[in-house]
Chains A and B, each alone.
Chain A
Amino acid sequence: MAPPEAAAAQSAPPGPPSPPPAPGAVLEAVGVSKRFPGVVALDDVSFTLRQGEIHALVGENGAGKSTLIKLLTGVYRPDDGELRLAGEPGAFHHPHEAQRAGISTIYQEVNLVPLMSVARNIFLGREPKNRFGLIDFPRMHRETAELLGGFGITADPRRPLHTLGIGTQQMVALARAVSVQARVVVMDEPTSSLEPREVETLFRVIGELHERGISILYVSHRMDELYRICDRVTVLRDGRLVHSGDLADTDRVRLVSLMLGREIAEVRRHGATSFGEGHTADRQPVLTASGLTRRHQLQDIALELHPGEVLGLGGLLGSGRSETAKALSGALPLDGGEISVGGRALRRLTPSAAIRAGISMLPEDRKAEGIVPGLSVRENIVLAAMPRLSRAGIVSRQKQDRIVEIFMKRLRIKAAGPEQKVGELSGGNQQKVLLARWLCLEPKVLLLDEPTRGIDVGAKAEVQSLIDDLAGEGLAVLLISSDIEELVEGADRIVVLRAGAVAGELTGDDVEENALLAVLAETGDSDDGDSHSDFGDSTDDAGEAPEAEAEAAAGPQDAAPGPLTKTTAPDAPPESAAGTGTGTAAAPAPPADGEPQSTPDTPGGAGSATAKEDPR
């Protein structure tokens, strides 16, 4: 976008006399600093956002991104330096003032009021009034529909926000941000909770904003996104500006090395993620689950987890990944299914029974389901281990301290000390505290639901290598991640879910991105006869006796054998045998309830991925 030499001039640190306003600058921060008790969050940082550009702001957590955003949007005021709006010095004392000046912000977590309707959320604080000074709801609803329609979103303006999906909520937040006549839109990790389809919609909307000449400050941890949409990039590290320039001139590896402050060669050598080589798993599974079924959510999920392996659980949002993990941890009431740990079936599926059996779960939403922000690091870590550490209800502080010390050191939890409140830590460190909480229970099985979501690159790498180490020590790990790279590099084996059922499994050399994408991209409605032709060529192993789970599903009487017995249907019709490309799946449990709705000719997946039909 901008000529490189201008960009270079921009990145030069400002001299003592205030530098002249940069040409075309909409929003500038000149030598701003922000100090908090004990921390310098921002140290003499200069930043320029130009008219109509999409500017990436990157850095690890704690690099000062959030602080800079909060300075630019009026949440904080700088201790030193000044802000300039269109070349004029200015300061905001309240988010309200920044909004009036045309700076809108959408935050990582949707910051709208869930119980209020879509239209009320969009117009909150600036509702259209009729001549009696009362809110004009018909107009509000009409304008909301128009506004959303302009972004290709169809949602009833009257519906309470919380009844919409997270992606749609994010779009509503964006619509609100734009509808206030924004000149600048700040987006703080807008895609962290969106599914790929919604990300595309977001990007389309960003493209439209771009065409309208609105400047966008885009914060994200996802490299792909940055390189797809951003023009320029500013890198912060430890509260200082380390780089600012055209994104096209900065390749990925260099960008990562700038963020991490590591040598490029080191990043190359280690790859983009910090997972090591595969593990050698035991033959005997430590956890066996079969026939996990819950109406509308899970259908006859079967899994085996071996000690020392990382099993990836793939699938798109809504495919039942998190639900499966929750079911395994006893947190999701099931209509049917069996879980056994170390050969012993759990009699009751409750979280406490699962924990006692050695299953620990790191939930997806650490804010809502894990961390107690008001408690200290120590208290958060020992929370689950309390019963073990106490005798007759008296908790031994000495034991606590020992455990906490061990885990803080081992997981490299960065905190002022064990008594610091967890709410004050960065996302990555909060995640480590949660991990520590479960690890001190000495679990056999660790279920990780999006363990690296929303945490910075450095902490991500640490958590990834930690997962690696844990599996190396013989723990069975179930890893859920929507980051395909992470899943592929982290997992030894991947079970792919679709619409609440197992859609396929990748093992050995097939654990790579293309194979995973191929399984993910398959259409879910394979139970119609037409899809037969799509996969008709996968007959490489048709000579073997086909497993033909589809047959089992078609006839309930065939599904009679136990959930983990492989069901062969000897009298399978020939056309089915030809079309069924299933190999020997690791855990091909036939649907226990066997609703005979599907036709027999369900095809297998592409390549050697074993596909299992969706029994609906």
Chain B
Amino acid sequence: MKALVKATAPAPAPAVAGDAPLPVTADPRPSGRQRAAELLQRQGVLAVLVLLCVISSFVFDSFATLDNTRGITIQASFLSIVALGMTMVIVTGGIDLSVGSVFALGGVLAAWASQYGFLPALLVPLAVCGAIGAFNGFLVAKAGMAPFIVTLASLLGARGLLLALTHEGATTYLVPRGSAFKELGSGAVWGFGYPVLIALALFAVGGLVLQRTSFGQALFAVGGSGDAALLMGLPVARTKVLVYTLSGLLAGLAGALNAARLSSGVTIIGVGMELDAISAVVIGGTLLVGGAGSVSGTLWGVLLLGVIQNLINQIGSLNSSYQSVVSGGFLIVVVVAQRYLSAARRGT
């Protein structure tokens, strides 16, 4: 039904009549309304985020303080790194449910390897988590399996591996005191933790990769139309393997950073983190069906979730579990708004 109605929309208006072959002229430029919709779709989250921050800083005295800002950003930094990888996966039209488990596994591996020094603490989780990502990508791209199923299996597998490593959570690996790895989590510049700075750097690079490299274009092409990408000679399978590997690597890195900050490999974290990451990505304006999205939107999405959490903590009397309720509600608002904005952009 919806498809029927939509399909009628882009009927090109017969331009000028005449028998000579006229130059094919593109349809009229987008109207003001269409452009406004496009801008809102792209930067709407940022607008909401700014608005929310402005209002909150008037309502809560302790909101717009440097301390609170540091707190929000460090909290958001781990999720943001995971969500960065998720953005790229979703742009290809896929999904990576394994990131929560991989995040926790990366943390435990980092804490365990930290006894051997700084580099092992960083490289071991990256190697293992990257391998899990590559495995996901291989099954999705080469075996043609559904990303949902493949990464669901990895979610369970990574969590199981984690429990085996920690003897069902009985063993907790601690990061040695005074090690350089611990410094990675706890150090700060002007009070902003290293994880925050690393996340920002990754987003800058990620933005360039997505928008300004052939790999990034291939991600959009695969998500926008896989068949077309294949027929245009793009390395579709390789792109998919790479993007899941990237997602695994980033989730592992985020886990390692988190372990450095907590000084230990905590086994029970990361449950449901994949859903937070997906929420942030979608709130950030990336289409769940693939083909369109931005890493900047994801950054705003993560920050928005962080601010909401922070506000609920500020209110104090509210159970912090309400954060999920608010986030869920917000997600629905965003998805509904996207639907209307997309329609407005098409000019229907």
Contacts and interface: CB of A to CB of B under 8 A. Distances in A.
| Pair from one complex | yes
B214 A127 contact: yes
A168 B24 contact: yes
Interface stretch (A49-57, A114-122, A394-402, A606-614): A114-122
Nearest to A524: B17
Interface stretch (B226-234, B251-259, B327-335): B226-234
Given A134-B208, A135-B217, A154 B23 contact: yes
Interface in A407-463: none
Given A165-B10, A318-B14, A351-B1, A113 B224 contact: yes
Interface stretch (B25-33, B100-108, B189-197, B308-316): B25-33
Interface in A488-543: 499, 521, 523-524
A111 B14 contact: no
A96 interface: yes
Contact of A116 (B12, B30, B224, B235): B224
B283 interface: no
Contact of A523 (B8, B17, B224, B228): B17
A99 B26 contact: no
Contacts of B292: 115
Interface stretch (A231-239, A326-334, A374-382): A326-334
Interface stretch (A5-13, A219-227, A361-369): A361-369
B8 A120 contact: no
A107 interface: yes
Interface string B1-39: 101110110111111011011111111011000000000
A369 B3 CA distance: 7
Interface string B187-220: 0000000000000000000001001111001101
Nearest to A111: B228
A136 to B, nearest CB: 9
Nearest to A352: B1
Contacts of A351: 1, 4
Contacts of A203: 21
B22 A332 contact: no
Contacts of B212: 134-135, 137
Nearest to A176: B232
Contacts of B346: 163
A204 B18 CA distance: 16
B225 A167 contact: no
Question: Max chain A CB contacts within 10 Å: which of B14, B20, B22?
Answer: B14
Given A112-B228, A116-B224, A200 B4 contact: no
Given A154-B23, A201-B24, A318 B11 contact: yes
A368 B12 contact: no
Contacts of A115: 220, 224, 291-292
A331 B24 contact: no
Interface residues of B, number: 47
Nearest to B224: A113
Contacts of B304: none
Contacts of B266: none
Contacts, number: 164
A258 interface: no
Interface string B157-171: 000000000000000
A156 interface: yes
Contacts of A112: 225, 228, 232
A233 B221 CA distance: 35
A171 interface: yes
A171 B217 contact: no
B229 A154 contact: no
A164 B221 CA distance: 18
Given A331-B1, A363-B4, A155 B26 contact: yes
A99 B233 contact: yes
A207 to B, nearest CB: 10
B248 to A, nearest CB: 24
A85 to B, nearest CB: 16
Given A116-B221, A125-B233, A318-B12, A165 B17 contact: no
A369 B6 CA distance: 11
Contacts of B24: 152-155, 165, 167-168, 171, 197-198, 201
A344 interface: no
A368 B3 contact: yes
Contact of B213 (A75, A134, A159): A134
B234 A124 contact: yes
Nearest to B34: A163
Contacts of B225: 111-114
Interface in A321-376: 322-323, 326, 331-333, 351, 363, 365, 368-369
Contacts of A279: none
A484 interface: no
Contacts of A168: 12, 24, 26-27
Contacts of B14: 195, 316-319, 499, 524
Contacts of A120: 217, 220
Given A112-B228, A317-B12, A165 B214 contact: no
A551 to B, nearest CB: 26
Contacts of B17: 521, 523-524
Given A111-B228, A124-B221, A365-B7, A154 B25 contact: yes
A166 interface: yes
A252 interface: no
Contacts of A81: none
A247 B26 CA distance: 35
Interface in B124-171: none
A153 B23 CA distance: 5
Contacts of B13: 318
A94 B236 CA distance: 11
A333 B11 contact: no
A111 B232 contact: yes
A363 B26 CA distance: 26
B233 A127 contact: no
Given A111-B232, A113-B225, A153-B23, 6 more contacts: A112-B225, A124-B229, A135-B217, A154-B26, A317-B14, A332-B8
Interface of B: 1, 3-5, 7-8, 10-15, 17-18, 20-27, 29-30, 208, 211-214, 217-218, 220-221, 224-225, 227-235, 291-292, 346
3 closest pairs, A vs B, by CB?
Answer: A200-B21, A165-B12, A96-B233
15 contacts: A99-B232, A107-B231, A113-B228, A115-B292, A124-B234, A127-B214, A135-B213, A156-B29, A165-B10, A165-B26, A168-B27, A200-B22, A201-B24, A318-B13, A365-B7
